[in-house]
Amino acid sequence: MFLTARRTVALAAMACASTFAASHRNGPLLLEDQTANLNDLYVFRSYEAGRSDRVVMSMSVQGFQNPDNGPSYYKFSDSVLYRFNINNARGLDGNPDLQIDFLFSTQLRPNPTFVSYFGQLKGIDDPGIFLYQTYSIVIRNLKTGQGTYIYNDANGHPLSVAPPNMGPKSTPAYEQTLGAPSVFTLANGMRVFAGPRDDAFYFDSGATFDTLNFRSPAPVLTGAADTAPGSAAPAAVDGFAGYNVSLIAVEVPISMLTADGSIPTDPKAPNAKIGVWAATLRQIVTVRPSPQDPINYGNYVQVDRVGNPLTVEALIPLPMKDYWNRNDPSNDQQFAQFIGAPFFASGILNGVFGLKVPPAPRTDLLGVFVPDINRVDLTIPPTAFANQNRLGPLAGDNSGWPFGGRRPIDDVVDIGFRALAGVLVPGYGGAPNNQLGDGVNSNDVPLMDHFPFHAPPHAGFKHSQIDGTNGKGMVTGN
């Protein structure tokens, strides 16, 4: 039977360690460098009303942010370069053609207090914002060598980071007062946002890491357990509920991302698809002349990257995760042996649970993960927010992962489980392969239908330990 383990508990423990062993903490070295630790990349055609001719890209970093972690809260690092890479030529070979960089600068405004924010913040320019972050954007066309540098929005306002959501006294009506005003429109037609948001990733991480101790009815979902929004805690526990992330989001006209400046309509056209991945970089040398501040020198080198969800988590062995993070997608053929014969499929789905899975080499997986770039078919129209399905193409909603990029609603864990089980390979698409899941079917709080799409950040005053959102509640403090 599927639920009867066929190997020892020791194998199960080893399997679990190799499964989603990273899950926002993707590599041993990055555990020591959280401001450069990428969590998720989202890229999709915008489904905001009237803006379907645009692509949205967002990256989240520094996951598991405790909303009440004052007095300094969380910030973007001034020494990290946060980059979106766009590949739009040569058949998507994992080499960038366009790069959009975000660089941050922190100003500690003179004040006599011990806190970063003080009093009721009435707007993004409030004098009570003592830790004030701004950012610059550099757009590089690597084919022409042209670079564009942006420091202000179309009205001349500095590009500033949204402050944290502290609570009803300090940040009342957070989204109206601070969140939405931190969305800036640039002179070139792009829109950008940087700041704290709710973590849109949802997954029963606790059950998985407890040696695959899934909560019933997982790991086989049938009926309403598969088609409904999902059970509330304790029947299903979203390990990311109530936590915030630092989000960088950009909305770009499609015509700015294609090689020929077109908005393609033919899926066979050479410019119909683009590939996107995010990366964080640091300068190669850091000197710490204590008690003075650190000084950074030299070229920027990559320390982390993310393309498709779950690549480094489920497919790359633990000893190779940091090496993988520092490599470029164009070099991903060296990892094909792990992706084409994934231990998750052979050692866990087959070895532990006795599931019939396709034999290696898994060309279905190699076509998605080598190179590891998030592919977006720009000819697929976006699905209206109200009609989106968490299972994306597996449920007929092709504008989701992996065909149309990745949206915040996409249940990449369940899609990933089923893809690794081989549902896209003839002969392996039936039950229970096409019913696998962790039991968490939606984000803990409602997503937004407009840019930047992630829900507002949770408030420190109503911390998740007291007023948890795993019961599908509203964002605390809004």
For residue 81, the cross-strand partners are 281
Please say if the pLDDT value at position 50 is more than 60.
yes
Residue 123's pLDDT band, with cuts at 50, 70 and 90, is very high
**How far is Cα 268 from Cα 364, in angstroms, rounded to an integer?**
20
The predicted-structure confidence for 416-431, as pLDDT tens digits, reads as follows 999 999 999 999 999 9
3-state percent helix, strand, coil for the chain, nearest multiple of 5: 20, 25, 55
Residue 226, domain member (yes or no) = no
Residue 26, domain member (yes or no) = no
Number of structural domains (the chain) is: 1
Domain that holds residue 126: 33-197+246-308
For residue 300, the cross-strand partners are 283
The predicted-structure confidence for 439-475, as pLDDT tens digits, reads as follows 999 999 999 999 999 999 999 987 766 666 665 555 6
Residue 395's pLDDT band, with cuts at 50, 70 and 90, is very high
Residue 334, domain member (yes or no) = no
Strands (E) in 109-179, as ranges, are 131-141, 146-150
Which pTM was predicted? 0.94
Neighbours of 158 (CB within 10 A): 16
The pair of structure tokens assigned to 259 is 């090689």
Residue 48, domain member (yes or no) = yes
Q: Are 404 and 196 in contact (CB under 8 A)?
A: no
Residue 427, domain member (yes or no) = no
Strands 98-108 and 131-141: antiparallel
Which of 7-11, 180-184, 233-237, 312-316 comes out lowest in average pLDDT? 7-11
Residue 204, domain member (yes or no) = no
Residue 83, domain member (yes or no) = yes
**How far is Cα 380 from Cα 45, in angstroms, rounded to an integer?**
8
Residue 122, domain member (yes or no) = yes
**How far is Cα 133 from Cα 182, in angstroms, rounded to an integer?**
12
